[in-house]
Structure 1
Protein backbone atom coordinates (compact mmCIF):
# COMPACT_ATOMS: atom_id res chain seq x y z
CA UNK A 1 0.00 0.00 0.00
CA UNK A 2 1.33 3.41 -0.95
CA UNK A 3 0.14 6.47 0.91
CA UNK A 4 0.56 10.14 0.13
CA UNK A 5 0.12 12.92 2.61
CA UNK A 6 -3.15 14.79 2.40
CA UNK A 7 -1.12 17.96 1.83
CA UNK A 8 0.52 16.54 -1.32
CA UNK A 9 -2.78 15.08 -2.47
CA UNK A 10 -4.57 18.38 -1.94
CA UNK A 11 -1.87 20.18 -3.97
CA UNK A 12 -2.81 17.90 -6.86
CA UNK A 13 -6.53 17.27 -6.66
CA UNK A 14 -7.92 20.40 -5.08
CA UNK A 15 -6.75 22.81 -7.80
CA UNK A 16 -8.17 20.47 -10.42
CA UNK A 17 -11.51 20.10 -8.66
CA UNK A 18 -11.67 23.87 -8.26
CA UNK A 19 -10.97 24.38 -11.95
CA UNK A 20 -7.53 26.02 -11.72
CA UNK A 21 -5.62 26.01 -15.00
CA UNK A 22 -2.39 27.14 -16.62
CA UNK A 23 0.73 27.42 -14.48
CA UNK A 24 -1.09 26.46 -11.29
CA UNK A 25 -2.14 23.25 -13.02
CA UNK A 26 1.45 22.36 -13.90
CA UNK A 27 2.59 22.94 -10.33
CA UNK A 28 -0.23 20.85 -8.91
CA UNK A 29 0.20 18.06 -11.45
CA UNK A 30 3.90 17.61 -10.74
CA UNK A 31 3.13 16.95 -7.08
CA UNK A 32 1.53 13.57 -7.82
CA UNK A 33 3.65 10.45 -8.11
CA UNK A 34 4.39 9.61 -11.74
CA UNK A 35 4.88 5.92 -10.89
CA UNK A 36 1.11 5.53 -10.81
CA UNK A 37 -1.37 5.37 -13.67
CA UNK A 38 -3.09 8.46 -12.32
CA UNK A 39 0.17 10.36 -11.98
CA UNK A 40 1.09 9.55 -15.58
CA UNK A 41 -2.09 11.04 -17.06
CA UNK A 42 -1.62 13.90 -19.47
CA UNK A 43 -3.32 17.20 -18.65
CA UNK A 44 -6.43 16.59 -20.77
CA UNK A 45 -6.82 13.12 -19.27
CA UNK A 46 -6.53 14.41 -15.70
CA UNK A 47 -9.00 17.21 -16.31
CA UNK A 48 -11.48 14.73 -17.75
CA UNK A 49 -10.95 12.27 -14.88
CA UNK A 50 -11.35 14.95 -12.22
CA UNK A 51 -14.53 16.23 -13.83
CA UNK A 52 -15.94 12.70 -13.54
CA UNK A 53 -14.80 12.50 -9.89
CA UNK A 54 -16.47 15.83 -9.11
CA UNK A 55 -19.76 14.57 -10.55
CA UNK A 56 -19.54 11.39 -8.47
CA UNK A 57 -18.95 13.37 -5.28
CA UNK A 58 -21.84 15.72 -6.06
CA UNK A 59 -24.23 12.79 -6.58
CA UNK A 60 -25.80 11.85 -3.23
CA UNK A 61 -26.52 8.29 -4.44
CA UNK A 62 -24.02 5.80 -2.96
CA UNK A 63 -22.48 3.01 -5.06
CA UNK A 64 -23.55 4.47 -8.40
CA UNK A 65 -20.66 3.63 -10.72
CA UNK A 66 -19.40 6.13 -13.27
CA UNK A 67 -17.28 4.76 -16.11
CA UNK A 68 -14.50 6.93 -17.49
CA UNK A 69 -12.12 6.54 -20.46
CA UNK A 70 -9.17 8.79 -21.22
CA UNK A 71 -9.94 11.18 -24.08
CA UNK A 72 -6.53 11.15 -25.79
CA UNK A 73 -5.81 9.17 -28.94
CA UNK A 74 -2.39 7.73 -29.70
CA UNK A 75 -1.75 6.33 -26.20
CA UNK A 76 -2.76 3.15 -24.49
CA UNK A 77 -6.13 4.22 -23.14
CA UNK A 78 -6.86 4.47 -19.44
CA UNK A 79 -10.25 3.34 -18.25
CA UNK A 80 -11.72 3.93 -14.85
CA UNK A 81 -14.59 3.13 -12.56
CA UNK A 82 -15.53 5.63 -9.89
CA UNK A 83 -18.12 5.50 -7.15
CA UNK A 84 -18.71 7.04 -3.76
CA UNK A 85 -19.95 5.28 -0.68
CA UNK A 86 -19.75 5.95 2.96
CA UNK A 87 -20.44 9.28 4.52
CA UNK A 88 -19.30 10.84 7.74
CA UNK A 89 -19.00 14.20 9.41
CA UNK A 90 -15.61 15.70 10.19
CA UNK A 91 -15.43 19.00 12.03
CA UNK A 92 -19.06 19.55 11.11
CA UNK A 93 -18.42 19.04 7.38
CA UNK A 94 -20.07 16.31 5.28
CA UNK A 95 -17.50 13.88 3.88
CA UNK A 96 -17.67 11.12 1.26
CA UNK A 97 -15.43 8.20 0.38
CA UNK A 98 -14.53 8.11 -3.32
CA UNK A 99 -13.29 4.84 -4.86
CA UNK A 100 -11.38 4.91 -8.14
CA UNK A 101 -10.19 1.91 -10.12
CA UNK A 102 -7.90 2.69 -13.07
CA UNK A 103 -6.58 0.39 -15.77
CA UNK A 104 -4.04 0.91 -18.55
CA UNK A 105 -3.23 -2.20 -20.51
CA UNK A 106 -2.53 -4.94 -17.96
CA UNK A 107 -1.83 -2.48 -15.13
CA UNK A 108 -4.50 -1.76 -12.54
CA UNK A 109 -4.70 0.58 -9.53
CA UNK A 110 -7.29 1.10 -6.86
CA UNK A 111 -7.55 4.30 -4.81
CA UNK A 112 -9.73 5.50 -1.96
CA UNK A 113 -10.06 9.20 -1.22
CA UNK A 114 -11.94 10.91 1.61
CA UNK A 115 -13.29 14.28 0.49
CA UNK A 116 -15.09 16.80 2.69
CA UNK A 117 -17.37 19.50 1.33
CA UNK A 118 -16.16 22.89 2.50
CA UNK A 119 -18.40 25.79 3.53
CA UNK A 120 -17.98 27.28 0.03
CA UNK A 121 -19.33 24.06 -1.54
CA UNK A 122 -16.01 22.79 -2.90
CA UNK A 123 -14.75 19.26 -2.13
CA UNK A 124 -11.37 19.03 -0.41
CA UNK A 125 -9.34 15.81 -0.22
CA UNK A 126 -8.44 14.96 3.37
CA UNK A 127 -6.85 11.53 2.84
CA UNK A 128 -6.08 8.93 0.21
CA UNK A 129 -4.88 5.35 0.04
CA UNK A 130 -3.56 3.37 -2.90
CA UNK A 131 -4.27 -0.35 -2.80
Structure 2
Protein backbone atom coordinates (compact mmCIF):
# COMPACT_ATOMS: atom_id res chain seq x y z
CA UNK A 1 0.00 0.00 0.00
CA UNK A 2 1.34 3.42 -0.94
CA UNK A 3 1.89 6.02 1.70
CA UNK A 4 -0.55 8.95 1.31
CA UNK A 5 2.25 11.48 0.70
CA UNK A 6 3.76 9.37 -2.07
CA UNK A 7 0.36 9.15 -3.76
CA UNK A 8 0.21 12.94 -4.09
CA UNK A 9 3.74 13.59 -5.40
CA UNK A 10 2.92 12.86 -9.06
CA UNK A 11 -0.13 15.09 -8.65
CA UNK A 12 2.15 17.94 -7.66
CA UNK A 13 4.27 17.26 -10.72
CA UNK A 14 1.24 17.31 -13.04
CA UNK A 15 -0.11 20.44 -11.40
CA UNK A 16 3.26 22.08 -11.94
CA UNK A 17 3.42 20.84 -15.55
CA UNK A 18 -0.06 22.24 -16.13
CA UNK A 19 0.96 25.57 -14.67
CA UNK A 20 -1.89 25.64 -12.21
CA UNK A 21 -0.35 25.05 -8.83
CA UNK A 22 -2.53 27.01 -6.43
CA UNK A 23 -0.23 26.87 -3.45
CA UNK A 24 3.33 28.04 -3.07
CA UNK A 25 6.03 25.52 -3.73
CA UNK A 26 8.94 25.26 -1.36
CA UNK A 27 12.40 26.49 -2.23
CA UNK A 28 13.73 22.93 -2.16
CA UNK A 29 14.41 21.41 -5.59
CA UNK A 30 11.88 18.83 -6.76
CA UNK A 31 14.49 16.67 -8.50
CA UNK A 32 13.31 13.61 -6.54
CA UNK A 33 10.18 13.72 -8.73
CA UNK A 34 12.15 13.42 -11.95
CA UNK A 35 11.68 9.66 -12.17
CA UNK A 36 7.87 9.74 -12.18
CA UNK A 37 5.94 8.95 -15.34
CA UNK A 38 3.98 12.18 -15.02
CA UNK A 39 7.16 14.26 -14.91
CA UNK A 40 8.41 12.61 -18.11
CA UNK A 41 5.74 14.09 -20.39
CA UNK A 42 7.78 15.57 -23.28
CA UNK A 43 7.83 19.38 -23.25
CA UNK A 44 6.34 19.42 -26.76
CA UNK A 45 3.32 17.49 -25.44
CA UNK A 46 2.61 19.72 -22.43
CA UNK A 47 0.24 22.05 -24.37
CA UNK A 48 -1.75 19.03 -25.61
CA UNK A 49 -1.91 17.62 -22.07
CA UNK A 50 -3.07 20.98 -20.72
CA UNK A 51 -5.81 21.05 -23.37
CA UNK A 52 -6.86 17.46 -22.64
CA UNK A 53 -7.10 18.10 -18.90
CA UNK A 54 -8.99 21.35 -19.51
CA UNK A 55 -11.42 19.59 -21.86
CA UNK A 56 -12.01 16.84 -19.29
CA UNK A 57 -12.54 19.32 -16.46
CA UNK A 58 -14.86 21.50 -18.57
CA UNK A 59 -16.86 18.85 -20.42
CA UNK A 60 -16.53 15.26 -19.19
CA UNK A 61 -19.21 13.70 -17.03
CA UNK A 62 -18.20 12.35 -13.63
CA UNK A 63 -16.78 8.83 -13.88
CA UNK A 64 -16.23 9.02 -17.66
CA UNK A 65 -12.66 8.29 -18.77
CA UNK A 66 -10.73 10.12 -21.48
CA UNK A 67 -7.51 8.59 -22.83
CA UNK A 68 -4.50 10.79 -23.66
CA UNK A 69 -1.15 9.69 -25.11
CA UNK A 70 1.95 11.80 -25.68
CA UNK A 71 2.93 11.99 -29.34
CA UNK A 72 6.60 12.97 -29.15
CA UNK A 73 9.57 10.74 -28.46
CA UNK A 74 10.02 7.01 -28.97
CA UNK A 75 7.00 4.77 -28.45
CA UNK A 76 8.63 3.02 -25.50
CA UNK A 77 8.85 6.39 -23.71
CA UNK A 78 5.32 7.58 -24.51
CA UNK A 79 3.15 8.59 -21.60
CA UNK A 80 -0.41 7.26 -21.57
CA UNK A 81 -2.97 8.77 -19.22
CA UNK A 82 -6.53 7.86 -18.33
CA UNK A 83 -8.20 11.06 -17.08
CA UNK A 84 -11.37 10.49 -15.04
CA UNK A 85 -13.26 13.18 -13.14
CA UNK A 86 -14.67 11.38 -10.11
CA UNK A 87 -16.64 14.10 -8.38
CA UNK A 88 -17.86 17.65 -8.98
CA UNK A 89 -18.50 20.05 -6.11
CA UNK A 90 -19.85 23.57 -6.00
CA UNK A 91 -18.22 25.91 -3.48
CA UNK A 92 -18.83 29.53 -2.59
CA UNK A 93 -15.14 30.39 -2.78
CA UNK A 94 -14.07 28.58 -5.96
CA UNK A 95 -17.38 27.94 -7.74
CA UNK A 96 -16.80 24.52 -9.36
CA UNK A 97 -14.18 22.02 -8.19
CA UNK A 98 -13.56 18.57 -9.67
CA UNK A 99 -11.68 15.61 -8.29
CA UNK A 100 -9.56 14.25 -11.15
CA UNK A 101 -8.19 10.71 -11.10
CA UNK A 102 -5.20 10.07 -13.35
CA UNK A 103 -3.70 6.71 -14.23
CA UNK A 104 -0.36 7.25 -15.97
CA UNK A 105 1.57 4.44 -17.63
CA UNK A 106 4.05 3.51 -20.33
CA UNK A 107 3.12 1.34 -23.35
CA UNK A 108 4.79 -1.66 -21.74
CA UNK A 109 2.31 -1.40 -18.87
CA UNK A 110 4.93 -2.47 -16.33
CA UNK A 111 5.17 0.90 -14.65
CA UNK A 112 2.02 2.71 -13.55
CA UNK A 113 1.08 5.65 -11.35
CA UNK A 114 -2.34 6.56 -10.06
CA UNK A 115 -3.32 9.66 -8.16
CA UNK A 116 -6.20 12.03 -7.49
CA UNK A 117 -6.17 15.80 -7.19
CA UNK A 118 -8.78 18.55 -6.88
CA UNK A 119 -8.92 21.27 -9.54
CA UNK A 120 -11.06 24.38 -9.01
CA UNK A 121 -12.35 26.68 -11.73
CA UNK A 122 -11.17 30.27 -11.38
CA UNK A 123 -13.25 33.38 -12.16
CA UNK A 124 -11.32 33.79 -15.45
CA UNK A 125 -12.33 30.26 -16.55
CA UNK A 126 -8.99 28.54 -15.95
CA UNK A 127 -8.54 25.56 -13.64
CA UNK A 128 -6.07 25.50 -10.76
CA UNK A 129 -4.90 22.60 -8.67
CA UNK A 130 -6.20 23.01 -5.15
CA UNK A 131 -4.22 22.56 -1.95
CA UNK A 132 -7.27 20.93 -0.34
Q: TM-score normalised to the size of structure 2?
A: 0.71
Report the secondary structure of 1:57's partner residue: helix
User: Could you say which residue in structure 2 is the equivalent of 1:110?
Assistant: 114
User: Could you say which residue in structure 2 is the equivalent of 1:51?
Assistant: 51
User: Could you say which residue in structure 2 is the equivalent of 1:89?
Assistant: 90
Report the secondary structure of 2:71's partner residue: coil
- The 1:13/1:127 distance shift into structure 2, 3 A limit, reads farther
In the alignment, structure 2 segments of 5+ residues that lack a partner are 22-28
Question: Is contact 2:67–2:83 with CA below 8 Å preserved after alignment?
Answer: yes
Question: Is contact 1:10–1:126 with CA below 8 Å preserved after alignment?
Answer: no
Question: Is contact 1:96–1:115 with CA below 8 Å preserved after alignment?
Answer: yes
CA root-mean-square deviation: 2.9
Report the secondary structure of 2:52's partner residue: helix
Q: TM-score normalised to the size of structure 1?
A: 0.71
Distance (Å, rounded) in 1 between the aligned partners of 2:57 and 2:116: 13
Distance (Å, rounded) in 2 between the aligned partners of 1:11 and 1:108: 19
Cα shift at 1:7? 8.1
- The 1:75/1:64 distance shift into structure 2, 3 A limit, reads same
In the alignment, structure 1 segments of 5+ residues that lack a partner are 17-29
Q: Which of the two has greater strand per residue?
A: 1
| Poorly superposed stretches of 4+, deviation over 4 Å | 6-11
Question: Is contact 1:9–1:125 with CA below 8 Å preserved after alignment?
Answer: no
1:31-50 aligned within 5 A: 33-50=33-50
